Structure 1
Amino acid sequence: MDVVDCIFDELGFWIPCAEIVQVTEPLVVLLRVVDGEKPAMGYIYEGMDRAKEAIRSIYVGVEDKYRPIWDIIDRRWHNQLHRPIHAAAYYLNPSFCFRADFKADEEVLSGLYSVVQRMVTDTTATLLEMDAFNNASGAIFASQLCKEGQTKLQPDRWWQMFGPSTPNLQKIAIRILSQPCSAFGCERNWSMFEHIHSKRRNRLSVERLNDLVFVHYNLRLRTRQILDDDSSPITLEEVDPESDWLTESTDPVFTDEDLEWVDQANREAEAATMAEEEDRARSGTTPMAT
């Protein structure tokens, strides 16, 4: 009866449940962006700010309500997640940097300068390039085509197309903005590892096994890039937290038939080893200790 009473208690059960869903939805949206297929490094900083603002709007700006939740988020964000690279990626993302409401506060600029100092040697030239980018000056940055691409291309691709006039800053931006932000790719790597290291192939050397995982996973990435070559940027407003992201599954990319050549190579290696041992036995010699 206690369970039944709890379920039928609207004030004590369902209203708090609805509040929990409202509060966690902005964070789920951010997790969806981070764990997606596209490089999301340039969206983490802005996404976190939007999530916090969405939580504050739920409580209509009543600080006693939203502040404890903000404190929990800030502790996790600042102690474990937030790094200068996130601020630098936010600044270098053209879809944010050229907006009228863009705010390059002390935290953002401090993170940007920290990353620049670590990644370049010619800081003088890079500072001049940063000034050109910030003011959208020069024939390329000031062009209409460049302005249209700010919201229509992924940030790293935008820099590939419109960043040649600032080569040092272009190199930094592409390296940062093309980075993934989660371990989702590693999880797929593990599934590939398990598929190759089966009962039939449990005698593979560690080096050979790592090489096979590296080659096959990169083949998969290349195939997906060709089949799904979407250059559109991430749009935080259009992320659907109710999609099947949390329950999606990944089918094996390679079947046992696809990896038959691995088994054949192992059989040939074993045959060669046995033949070598037989030759030693006939000649009465023993293998040298290593």
Structure 2
Amino acid sequence: MFHTVEWRNSKWPKHPIGKEIVKKVKSNTFWNNMHTCLKIMAPLVDVIRMVDTEEKHSMAYIYSAIEDCKLKVKTNLGDQNDDDRELWKKMERILDRRWSGMLQKPLHAAAHYLNPQYYYATLTSSDEMESNTKLKEGLLDCIAKLALDEEDESQILRDLIVYRTKAGRLGKRGAQACVKTIAPVEWWITFGSEVPALQRFVKSVIGLTSAASPCERIWSTFDNLSCF
């Protein structure tokens, strides 16, 4: 950057601020800090890209993506000394505040719970979800808000038993074999006809699209900044 014609012909090489910038950018401290920033930001950017993709309905994956993101940030920062641990605690508080305060909604919980790729992932994954109080509360709140009426809500709750116990067509070998190979919304369309109330509810939740428009506005601002 400092060897470009634009930089050399500008006022900054001889300006005190420009000299200070050169000094900082050439220091090891600056690049060590940049490395730390990348450890934190790379997993977050992966989530943003996933949210903004047109390849799949991302609503069914957001809840898990955030949890995976936190784990990746923690792993990237390491646990070798007190500074590493303190930095992770600080980042964890920030991520939890943003997730819990602005992003974590009943809709995300319901979409995660009703994604068969997660619910049927292992022999114990369904039990883990059932014991997750916040997840179940979010699911039930979402059902209460989106159900057509009280009878529809009751039927959706009864249909959840079929989902949980793999009863009927949902538990057939073909349905279980397709859990990881087709999109969640397509799985429900294909195999959920025996639980029509739940099927309709699921399609209205995990069939939603999402976007990273606020982030795109920030990126557009960055594009307008001078490269030097």
Q: Determine if the TM-score, normalized by the shorter chain, exceeds 0.5.
A: yes
Unmatched segments (≥5 aa) in structure 1: 188-245, 248-290
**Structure 2 residue aligned with 1:29:** 46
Whichever of the two has the greater Rg, that structure is 1
- Superposition CA RMSD, Å: 1.9
The aligned counterpart of 1:109 is 136
Distance 1:160 1:134 in 2: 17
In the alignment, structure 2 segments of 5+ residues that lack a partner are: 1-18, 221-228
CA distance in 2, matches of 1:23, 1:90: 24
Aligned-residue offset at 1:125: 2.6
Question: Which of 164, 168, 175 is equivalent to 2:204?
Answer: 175
79-88 or 58-67: bigger deviation: 58-67
| Matched residue SS, 2:170 | coil
Supply the distance in 1 between the matched residues of 2:159 and 2:22 (Cα, whole angstroms): 66
1:1-290 to structure 2, matched below 5 A, reads 1-10=19-28, 12-37=29-54, 38-61=56-79, 63-100=85-122, 102=125, 103-104=128-129, 105-120=132-147, 121-122=150-151, 123-138=153-168, 140-182=169-211
Q: Distance in 1 between matches of 2:94 and 2:188?
A: 36
- Once the 2 structures are TM-superposed, how far is the Cα of residue 8 of structure 1 from its aligned partner? 2.2
Give a deviation string over 1:48-95, Cα, whole Å, max 9, x none: 000001111123345422111111112222222111000000000111
Taking the aligned partners of 1:8 and 1:85, their CA distance within structure 2 comes to 47
Distance 2:93 2:183 in 1: 32
Between the aligned partners of 1:20 and 1:159, the Cα distance in structure 2 is 40
Secondary structure of 1:141's counterpart equals: helix
Distance 1:181 1:63 in 2: 33
C-alpha distance in 2 between matches for 1:131 and 1:63 = 42
1:7 and 1:117 mapped to 2: Cα distance?
A: 54
In the alignment, the residues of structure 2 paired with residue 135 and residue 23 of structure 1 have an alpha-carbon distance, to the nearest angstrom, of 39
Q: Which amino acid aligns with 1:112?
A: L
Once residues 107 and 99 of structure 1 are traced to their aligned partners in structure 2, the CA distance between those partners, rounded to angstroms, is 20
Asked if structure 1 preserves the Cα contact closer than 8 Å seen for 2:36 and 2:77, the reply is no
Q: Is the 8 A contact 2:51 2:212 kept in 1?
A: no
- Contact 2:59–2:210 (8 Å) recurs in 1: yes
Greater helix fraction, Structure 1 or Structure 2: 2
CA distance in 2, matches of 1:73, 1:18: 19
Q: Which amino acid aligns with 1:128?
A: R
Give the whole-Å Cα distance in 2 for the aligned partners of 1:7 and 1:60.
25
Hey, what does 1:267 align to over in structure 2?
A: none
Query: In structure 2, what residue type is equivalent to 1:3?
Result: I
Identity of aligned residues (%): 24
Q: Quote the offset at 1:183 in angstroms.
A: 5.9
CA distance in structure 2 between the partners assigned to 1:151 and 1:112 by the alignment: 22
Distance in 2 separating the partners of 1:59 and 1:22: 7
With the length of structure 1 as denominator, give the TM-score of the two structures.
Answer: 0.60
Offset at 1:33?
Answer: 0.7
